[in-house]
Amino acid sequence: MATSRGQFGSRIGFILAAAGSAVGLGNIWGFPTQAASNGGAAFVLVYLVLAFLLAYPVLMAELLLGRHAHGNTVIALTRISDRPLTKAIGAATGLTGIIVASLILSFYAIVAGWMLGFTVAYPLSSLGFGSSSTWLTAFTVPRNLTLMTCFMVMTMGIIMGGVHNGIERWSTRLMPALVVTLVALALYVFTLDGAVEGLKVYLLPDFSKVFSGDLILAALGSAFFSLSLGVGTMLIYGSYLSDDEYLPSIGAQVALIDIGLAVLAGFLILPSMYVAAERGVEIFDASGALLSEDTLIFSVLPALFTSLGSIGVIVATAFFGLMSMAALTSSISMLEVPVAFLVERFQWSRQRAATIAGTIIGLISAVVIFNFESLFGLVIALTTRYGQPLLGLMLCVYAGWVWNRNSLLQELKKNNPAAEKTWFWRLWPFYVRIVCPAIIAIIFARSLL
Ligand code: PFF
C-alpha cells in the first residue's frame, strides 16, 4: 500500500522535505527580530528548550500517526479509534486540518508572490525596465493577483510531480540552495560597517527579559507555526515514510534544522539592520522596538540594498530569491494536505486533485486580495492563533489517549526492537498525554483573552 501511494526515496530526502516545510517566511522575518528584542541569546536558548519540550512531541505525534496509517489525517485519526464517536470526531478534526492548511496557503501565497516580484524587480530595474520593476513592487490589486497566481502555479506544478519526483526532488534542490544563499549573504554583510553592532544586539544574552510569561507564550505560538504543526502537513509527510526509519531521531533532526536555520537567519538580518542604520535608515519604530515583519522586509532591507549601489542588485536578488525558495518548500507541504485527501478519498489523479485544490485556494486568495484590509489579518489570526494550536491539541489527545498504547509501541518497534527501553518511550507518552495538551490549552485560553 505504501509504495503505490508514493514514498520518499531516501531518509535525507524526507528530512529536507520536512525541514523545507518547517523553514519558511516565519523563520526569516519573525524569529531574528523577536530574538533581538527579547533577550538575544537568552531568548534563543529558551526557544530551543521550548521547541524541544512542546513542539517536538507534537511533531512526533504527527509523524507517528501518519506513518502508522500510511494515509491522510482523516484515515489516520479514524483508524486508531474504535468507537463511533471518536471516529467521527477524528474525521472532523482531519477535515478541519485540511481547511486550515488551505487557508494558511491562501495568505501565504500572497506574501510569497510579493517575494517573487521583488526577486525579479531588481535585475529588471538594473537592465533599464524601471516601470516593470515599479509595477512588481508597488502594492496594487493586479500585481498581487498576478504574483499570487504565479506562485500557486509553481506550487501546483511541484505537487503534480508526486512525492518522489515533485516534493522530494524540489526540496533536495531548494534547501541546500537556501542554506548556501543564507550563509553567503551573512558573510557578505559581516564585511560592512555596523554589522558587529547588530551581532552584539542579537547575541548578548539578557536573561531578565526572557522570563516574562507573555514572551514564553509568544515563543510557544511561533514554535508551532514554525514547525508547521496541527494541520496535518507533517502527518502526511510521515505517511510517505518507509517503515524502516526510526522516527524519533528523524523528527529531532527536522526540529534542529528548523531552529538552526532560524538562528542562522538572525546572523543575516540583525547585522543587515545595523548596517542599514549606519547608512541613515530608520530601524526602530515609535516605541523604540526594532522594525520587523513586512516593514523590515519591504522597506528597511530594500533601503539597505539601494544604498549598496550596483552590488545591491545582486544582494537583493539573492535575498528575495532566498525568501521565495523558503516559501515554496513550505507551500508545497500545505497543498499536499488537501491533495492527498482528494486522491485517497475520491481516487482522483494527483494532477486533477492538485488542479482543483490549487484553483480553489487561488480563488480564496483572490477574495482576500480584493478585501485585503478586512480579510488578510483575520485569516492569519484565525488559522495560526486559533486553528493550529487547537488542532495540535486534538492530535495530542488522539496520539496520547485514543491510540492504543500497545499499537503505538509496535509502531516504534518496527525499526527499533528495543524501543521500549529508549528515553523516547519513557518520556514522550506522558508528554503527549498530559504536558502538551495542558500547555496548548493555556496558550489557547490566553490568546482568547
Ligand atoms: N513553517 C512555515 C514557516 O515557518 O513559514 C509555515 C507553515 C508551513 C505553517 C506549513 C503551516 C504549515 F502547514
Between 141-160 and 130-137, two packed helices, what is the crossing angle to 10 degrees?
A: 80
Q: Residue whose CA is closest, atom 3 of ligand 1?
A: 24
Does the beta carbon of 31 sit less than 6 angstroms from any atom of ligand 1? no
| pLDDT for res 1 | 38
List pLDDT tens digits, range 348-388: 999 999 999 999 999 999 999 999 999 999 999 899 888 99
CATH number listed for the domain at residues 2-448: 1.10.4160.10
pLDDT in tens, 300-356: 999 999 999 999 999 999 999 999 999 999 999 999 999 999 999 999 999 999 999
Q: How far is CA 34 from the centre of its chain?
A: 16
Q: Which residues contact 400 (CB under 8 A, 6 or more apart)?
A: 61, 429, 432, 433, 434, 436, 437
DSSP 19-61: HHHHSSHHHHHTHHHHHHHTTTHHHHHHHHHHIIIIIHHHHHH
Tell me what pLDDT residue 323 has.
Answer: 96
**What's this model's pTM, rounded to 2 decimal places?**
0.95
List pLDDT tens digits, range 383-407: 988 899 899 999 999 999 999 999 9
Query: Please, are residues 80 and 403 in contact by the beta-carbon 8 Å criterion?
Result: yes
Distance from the alpha carbon of residue 226 to the mean position of ligand 1, in angstroms: 6
Cβ–Cβ contacts within 10 Å for residue 410, how many?
12
Residue 50: pLDDT band with limits 50, 70, 90: confident
- pLDDT over threshold 50, residue 16: yes
Percent of the chain with pLDDT over 70: 98
Under the banding of pLDDT at 50, 70 and 90, the label for residue 2 is very low
From 226, 331, 383, 388, the mutation candidate for ligand 1 (largest count of ligand atoms within 8 A of CB) is: 226
Task: Tell me which of 63, 104, 294 to substitute to probe ligand 1's pocket, judged by most ligand atoms within 8 Å of the beta carbon.
Answer: 104
Grid cell locating 434: 498530559
CB burial string 254-278: b at 16+ within 10 A, e below = bbbbbbbbbbbbbbbbbbbbbbbbb
The string of pLDDT tens digits covering residues 189-238 is 999 999 999 999 998 988 887 777 767 766 776 788 889 999 999 999 99
